[in-house]
Amino acid sequence: MTSTTDAPALRLVGAALRAGGRTLVEGLDLALAPGEFLAVLGPNGAGKSTLVQAALGLRAFDAGTASVFGLPPARARSQVGYLAQRAQLDRATALRGGDFVGFGYDGHRFGPGFLRAARRRSAVAQTLDRLGAAEFADQPVGELSGGEFARLRLAQALIADPKLLICDEPLVSLDLASQGLVVEQIVRQQKERGAAVVFITHELNPVLAHVDRVLYLARGGHRLGPVAEVMTAESLSELYGTPIDVLDVRGKLVVVGAGEEGHG
């Protein structure tokens, strides 16, 4: 796997985030390599989505430095794809699927208007075809099912061929088949295009086989490392300051304790 630059896809040095008088994370050092898959876990309110906002350049870190391929996050958005949680749709919206996907192409594409429009149409068509979603191009997005709309959200995130793909709990409210499709295409972008992946999730098991490292946030602290080092009773008990059990149930990890039962 290769990258357009030798710089880490995402580098954090001494990074800290605070909200509402609470420290969410501090002293976070991270160098995410091109093609690396990082899963970010932790309980509600631990700072996972705030970390996403900062990595996208939508808010500043409260301390430390951050860069995306050597640039400030806000200046590197053309190299970043963002896959958010499922949004609520206005069932009356007239927005068509192809136009929704095209929004992911806009903002950093330049050139004569007619050429840009033609390239945009081509990129939308190719991306929808890749995801088996061409039939949704002319359908109002408000009429689509959750799984159908998940394909459009994924297409929007992938249309610009991102070298860093940030996914904020993208499997929420999706059925197993749709979850499988989303994971398959994210891993394809990683393996075939060399994209680094930051995958925020409450449930590690759907991507467990693909994860290179885990960043676990809890109570203002963090653990960063391979799954086998972070997802242990000893590691998480130290992080939470209370006994935690990590169970392997038929190849699936289950974390029990501190309100985390079922989280994996």
Q: How far is CA 48 from CA 18, 88, 200, in A?
A: 12, 21, 7
pLDDT attached to residue 3? 41
pLDDT attached to residue 238? 94
Take residue 121 and report the two structure tokens written for it: 């149409």
How does the average pLDDT of the chain come out, rounded? Answer: 89
For residues 187 and 83, the answer to whether their CB atoms sit within 8 Å is no
pLDDT digits (tens, 9 = 90+) for 196-215: 999 999 889 999 999 999 99
| DSSP code, position 104 | T
pLDDT attached to residue 257? 83
At residue 13, φ and ψ (nearest 5 deg) are: -130, 115
Cα(33)–Cα(240) distance, integer angstroms: 28
Take residue 27 and report the two structure tokens written for it: 């002293």
pLDDT attached to residue 15? 97
- Domains in the chain (CATH in brackets) are 10-231 (3.40.50.300), 232-264 (no CATH)
Take residue 37 and report the two structure tokens written for it: 């898959």
pLDDT attached to residue 87? 62
Cα(143)–Cα(97) distance, integer angstroms: 10
Percent of the chain with pLDDT over 70: 89
Name the packing angle between helices 146-158 and 176-193 (round to 10°): 10
For residues 86 and 174, the answer to whether their CB atoms sit within 8 Å is yes
Cα(113)–Cα(126) distance, integer angstroms: 20
With a cut of 50, list the residues of the chain below it in pLDDT.
1-4, 109-113, 260-264
Beta bridge partners of 174: none
pLDDT attached to residue 92? 66
Q: What is the dihedral of CA 83, 84, 86, 92, to 10 degrees?
A: -90
Cα(9)–Cα(17) distance, integer angstroms: 20
pLDDT attached to residue 259? 57
